[in-house]
Chains A and B, each alone.
Chain A
């Protein structure tokens, strides 16, 4: 993956830049020794690494602002960082950048049940947001599989989703306000405890901007009352097509499950070997979860099972206890880990119209044979957000190149059938050069105008999202 060459003038000024940062931050908040900056050289797309010039770990919005002012004055690029779980290379540093990590900012600032929100510092992990309110019966809905580790900072920047967003929406639908520090070090309050913007919806464009418009230090998040209960069913089918049709029929019938998860045979087999969840031996399986009181759950599941039976399922498994429900989810939740046991994998994230599911799965199977690389599919079927996992050997540069080419072909296919390159992981560096597949130059120009306004010097999270050739002039200016 091509990255811009570091600016030699900045590298030469490292000592002075670090000194200026130390002058405005506590001693332990600035890391400049190479042995220690290495911990920040990559995210979960670990094939790409580069230690930064320095790392700062501020403890407050004021410290974030102070650090940014120094970087701005010195013309140093800044890569905002949450927990570093990005799968898209969203926090890949350049050698001349300062990584600004918000991990130490993890306080709960306010919990307000009457108005159903929580305000937190963004270094707080996704799961511990729910953790702060669950004793009182509330939860924060967006639930990326990485929720134990990932921070609200990254969730806001990537507009992350999760298994339950079919019903509750993704981050942007649950975000009410942020404190944003601009590259100049100015602190802006956007949105808050009220709904909807009074003027232009800046919050809407900040969410999902991949750390390129400002550093988000606090967030007001919508919290919801926990449903009385939830229960999954598992259904196995003889083919991907049939499973896909069943998804369509469930949606059309007017039931709105909280989750519809899909796994294909390679994935089922891998998870069985790994987690022993007792999944049936079949081509495709669905896990469908509904919520409500016992009676409400029975009614919805009754309807769903009735629909499933029309598609000649090879297995229908209801859960009669907490234990059985956990077992149904077990395989799905360990799917990534299971695939990781077999080989290294690249996780894609394109979204397609649900109607195109069978065709796309068939094409991926064909491409898999052509490239000679195995693929497992495990994904959020209700909203068409796919996660093909391509297995490859990361130590073999040739195979990495082949895997990337295969991945690119899958994403092009997603766009071709009316979908998009990324449904929840973000563009980062990974899909940067594929943006041209989905967007015309003027579409990207319109997006870059927003960046021009928030970060005129193009210093924030450089070389992400847009193809390098397209941003060269702006970065050089």
Chain B
């Protein structure tokens, strides 16, 4: 099914008597495999409001991410949270939708500076499991009117409602950018170096590690970038060689690759995404026994490529954070919970919330269980 607009979608949900699989562009197929009739949001599309001087953009949920990115670029602006393109990594194809980005709370390297998708999201409209159309938040940056369902919907993977419209706070694209590269540095010293960099006053907007080494991004006016690059270079000198790679284009290419976890894409195995306290990352990586890892968010986000069917959580033991199985065969995702099981009291709240928003259990039922 491919409803033409929000009210048609509401009718579809209201009239449904069995589970629905909610699909944006199908590029972020994550979670427990579920069955049910597919409902696509792709026709509920289009940017409905864009005011560059107010740093605000509102789009229908089925709008291609690319269309949003282009519209913003034409005005020298962008989505602050740097939405990743996971197609190559997850082995999916199709056109990412902005609603799918929100449903996954998908955020890239700039998350450490500008926040996650949920932090830029200032309003939503959605259809809940009863078919009611609900709005929350709006189109202004500061809004504490009533409870913040905007955050609750971000990252709910279509299990509380089907998003129909999303509003964002956007930001100007800075004039210039540069990357500091610490070639060949290992995970443990890299995490210490990244912590030193983001704990400095020099406004780091990316802090990643791949086999190439540690990578630190700064953005801003050209003179400011040059100044901060120099200061950071001095700050990081104790960690070894520090190479500065200047220029917007080089930065864009490099960080698109880091954002999309290109280093792990296209390789056989399962993909895990592990959210941790950054300084715990080296010890956890050592326990993972992964075939390859990539770190982002100064170590707070670890991507791991593991042997098919591995239960990474069993290897990690108890830790503060969570591990999500992002890519694996359906049998594996049926056997190993893709989303980290939560403590019983928290799980009970999540279950009760779903029961209230979707009393008939028809919206992506069980996807996050």
Binding site for B on A (CB under 8 A): 112-116, 137, 158-159, 161, 165, 169-170, 172-173, 186, 188-190, 192-205, 207-209, 225-228, 248-249, 251-256, 292-293, 295-296, 299-300, 351-355, 380, 383-385, 418-427, 431, 435, 438-440, 442-447, 449-454, 465-466
Contacts and interface: CB of A to CB of B under 8 A. Distances in A.
B173 A254 contact: yes
A80 to B, nearest CB: 16
A422 B227 contact: no
Contacts of A227: 201, 203
B119 A173 contact: yes
> Looking at B136, B142, B160, B278, which has the most chain A CB atoms within 10 Å of its CB?
B142
Contacts of A256: 171-172
A443 to B, nearest CB: 5
Contacts, number: 258
Nearest to B351: A453
A196 B275 contact: yes
> Looking at B151, B160, B220, B277, which has the most chain A CB atoms within 10 Å of its CB?
B151
A383 B144 contact: no
A385 B54 CA distance: 12
A196 B340 contact: no
Contacts of B171: 256
A208 B278 contact: no
Contact of A194 (B56, B143, B144, B276): B276
B249 interface: no
Interface in B19-60: 51-56
Contacts of A161: 142
21 contacts: A115-B279, A116-B198, A196-B155, A198-B342, A201-B105, A202-B349, A204-B151, A207-B151, A208-B144, A208-B148, A249-B53, A252-B53, A256-B172, A295-B227, A353-B56, A354-B53, A419-B140, A420-B140, A446-B132, A446-B134, A454-B349
**Secondary structure at chain A's binding surface: helix, strand, loop or mixed?**
loop
A256 B224 CA distance: 14
B154 A435 contact: no
A114 B149 contact: no
A173 to B, nearest CB: 5
Interface in B144-188: 144-152, 154-156, 159-160, 171-175
Given A296-B223, A299-B224, A418-B138, A205 B151 contact: yes
A1 to B, nearest CB: 18
B54 A159 contact: no
B213 interface: no
A255 to B, nearest CB: 8
Interface of B: 51-56, 76, 105, 107, 111-112, 115-116, 118-119, 128, 132-136, 138-152, 154-156, 159-160, 171-175, 192, 195, 198-201, 203, 220-221, 223-224, 227, 275-279, 297, 300-301, 320-322, 324, 339-340, 342-343, 345-347, 349-350, 352-353, 356-357, 368
A397 to B, nearest CB: 28
Given A114-B199, A445-B132, 7 more contacts: A188-B346, A189-B343, A248-B54, A352-B140, A354-B51, A447-B146, A453-B356
A213 to B, nearest CB: 8
B144 A450 contact: no
B160 A200 contact: yes
A169 to B, nearest CB: 6
> Looking at B136, B141, B171, B192, which has the most chain A CB atoms within 10 Å of its CB?
B141
A423 B146 contact: no
Contact of B140 (A158, A173, A423): A423
B177 to A, nearest CB: 13
B152 A450 contact: yes
A202 B147 contact: no
A200 B140 contact: no
Nearest to A453: B352
> Looking at B54, B149, B353, which has the most chain A CB atoms within 10 Å of its CB?
B54
Contacts of A425: 144
A431 B356 contact: no
A470 to B, nearest CB: 12
A296 B221 contact: yes
A420 B167 CA distance: 14
Given A199-B368, A254-B172, A169 B115 contact: yes
A383 B141 contact: yes
Nearest to A385: B142
A203 to B, nearest CB: 8
A196 B148 contact: no
B144 A446 contact: no
B357 A446 contact: yes
B142 A351 contact: yes
A225 B199 contact: yes
A114 B300 CA distance: 11
A193 B322 CA distance: 11
B340 to A, nearest CB: 4
